[in-house]
Chains A and B, each alone.
Chain A
Amino acid sequence: MTSWRPALAPSVVLRYDAVREADLLIMPERVVVLNGQAASIVELCDGTRTVDEIVAELAGEFPEAPVAEEVPEFLGRVQKEGWLR
Chain B
Amino acid sequence: MTEKPGIRHSAPQEPAIRHSAPQEPAPLKPPPPWAMLAELTHGCPLHCPYCSNPTELISRSRELATADWERVMAEAAELGVVHAHLSGGEPLLRGDLVAIVEATERAGIYSQLVTSGVGLTEARLAELVAAGLHSVQLSVQAGDAAQSDLIAGKRSFAAKEAAAALVRQAGLALGLNVVLHRHNLDSIDDIVALGVSWGVERIELANTQFYGWALLNRAALLPTREQLARAEERLNHWRERLDGIELIWVIPDYFEGVPKPCMGGWGAISLTVGPDGSVLPCPAAYAMEGLAMPNVQDHSLRWIWEESAAFNAYRGTEWMREPCVSCPRRDLDFGGCRCQAYAITGDAAATDPACRLSADHHVIEELTRSQGDAPFVYRSPRRRSVPVGGVDRPAL
B173 pairs with A35, CB closer than 8 A: no
Tell me if A59 counts as interface (CB < 8 A to partner B).
no
Give the interface SS of chain A, mostly helix, strand, loop or mixed. Answer: mixed
A contacts, CB < 8 Å to B: 10-11, 13, 15, 17, 19-22, 24, 26-35, 37-38, 74, 77-78, 81-82
Contacts of B171 in A (CB 8 A): 10
Answer whether A20 and B83 are a contact pair too, CB < 8 Å, given A28-B173, A31-B34. Answer: no
Contacts of B79 in A (CB 8 A): 19
Tell me if B135 counts as interface (CB < 8 A to partner A).
yes
- Interface extent on B, as a size class? 20 to 34
Minimum C-beta distance from A25 to chain B (A)? 8
Tell me if B19 counts as interface (CB < 8 A to partner A).
yes
B20 pairs with A35, CB closer than 8 A: yes
Task: Report the bound CA distance from A35 to B17 in whole Å.
Answer: 8
Give the interface SS of chain B, mostly helix, strand, loop or mixed. Answer: loop
The residue in chain B whose Cβ has the minimal distance to the Cβ of A27 is B173
B contacts, CB < 8 Å to A: 10, 12-13, 15-22, 24, 32, 34, 78-80, 82-83, 108, 110, 112, 134-135, 137, 171-173, 175, 201-202, 244, 248
Minimum C-beta distance from B197 to chain A (A)? 20
Question: Counting chain B CB atoms within 10 Å of each CB, which of A15, A26, A28, A77 scores highest?
Answer: A28
Minimum C-beta distance from B374 to chain A (A)? 33
B10 pairs with A30, CB closer than 8 A: yes
- Which of A15, A28, A31, A37 is in CB contact (< 8 Å) with B12? A31
Task: Report the bound CA distance from A81 to B173 in whole Å.
Answer: 15
Task: Report the bound CA distance from A61 to B358 in whole Å.
Answer: 58
B82 pairs with A10, CB closer than 8 A: no
Contacts of A77 in B (CB 8 A): 16-17
